[in-house]
Structure 1
Amino acid sequence: MPVFPALGKGADSIANMSNYVKISRKILEWGWYRDEHTKSLFLHCLLKANWKDGEFKGIVIKRGQFATSIPKLQVELELTSNEVRTAIKHLKSTGEITVRSYSKFSVITVVKYDSYQCESQAESQTDNSHTTDKAQPINSLLTTIEEGKKNKKERKENKSNSVRFIPPSLEEVQDYCKSRCNGLDAQAFVDFYSSKGWMIGKNKMKDWKAAVRTWERKSQTRQEETAKHDRISEVDSW
């Protein structure tokens, strides 16, 4: 099995990794183990796959998936186009991966990705220690390449997306109710939630239009119950 370079300088960079891919010795019994191209591609897929859901060019890339292309894999693995295509065909035939193609790239899914992940932080620390002390390449603990960058990017996106809720004006609520022809009392809606500090239960309101639609459904339910009660009363009066 090829020994992969650590993401950093020296063996210490591996020991300090908190997330990694597990490679069992059972891989020695794997049918494609002696096929260098297929084996290299599969290990490459394990290392490139997202460890958590992400996004690429408007496409959701889930945990265990990554976006790539034949030319990119050629460069990364130093293989020819035919060698890459043959290796992909092998892995698809035995259910190791699936491939979904788009116009300019493809998304590869490692079918049993979770089985290559650690089950607990304690196990992670133990295995990291064993790797440093015993230097066993086949059980090397390797982080996914994009993990650190994605964490930083997601933190920035989450921060920018946390927009402060601004209560609507009476006119905005009136206009929205008119557009839905729901006949709701916009003033009553604004007065009610103003008295609550624009809270829904214990949580700050995030979408006042959704709250209007909820009022709308409740109003319709009350009207239906009232109409049903009136019909029953009319029958009883006979």
Structure 2
Amino acid sequence: MKKYYWLKLQKDFFKDPRIKKLRRIAGGDTYTLIYLELMLLSLETDGILTYEGIEPTFEAELSLIIDEDETNIKVVLNFLTSQGLMEQFENKFSLRQVLTLIGSEADSTERMRRLRAKRKEIENVTCDANVTSCDENVTTEIRDKSKEKIYKKENPQIEICEEKNSDEKLTPKKKFIKPTLEDLISYKQEKKLNVDCESFYDYYEAKGWMIGRSPMKDWQATMRNWSRNQEAFKPPKQQTEKNYEDDYEWR
């Protein structure tokens, strides 16, 4: 698998005092260029340059590789060492800045990146086509609404009917909220019901606020029905559970 490397220079790279000092030396721009070439040369080895002994000196060997003047390379190597930008370990030379400037990408990653870019380009073209179609639809819709407005003006009873249907659709379905014992007592006092609130609460709490097999929809109505049938109430021991729920089911 191929792997691509690149050098990511920070935006303040040339503002680094050491780089500025290197550039101010006579021939400094050439030295700076050589430094960048050396960093590129060491990308695949994490900033390590190895002296193979092909030439008598390291600078002579680098001159052969990057096609730069041997004397200029020697000046750069001496400068990097004096500024702490390069360290030597036997026949290996480490460029310390490289590790913070390396970028890499496998060839498969590169292919996926190109594929995503291609898909995005296709999506943009499709989107443009959809926008054109959308514009046509909007024009047609405006024209149809104009006709509809004239028709409703001539037939006002239709508009009234539509508004009524619209209101029915927008009416939200009431969600059951389980009451607290305090809610039951308050409602009992308000409606003056003949209900033992604790018995009512305990009974339906034990059943998960279900009436038969259906969830309770309106506890107030169930409580009123319980009050009306209070005189006919019989303990569960004398009556089956199903019959008991039938007596108190809100219809």
Q: Do both share a fold (TM > 0.5)?
A: no
Q: Considering only CA atoms, is the larger Rg found in Structure 1 or Structure 2?
A: 2
TM-score, reference length from structure 1? 0.33
More helix by share: 2
The answer to which structure, 1 or 2, has the higher relative contact order (CA under 8 A, 6+ apart) is: 1
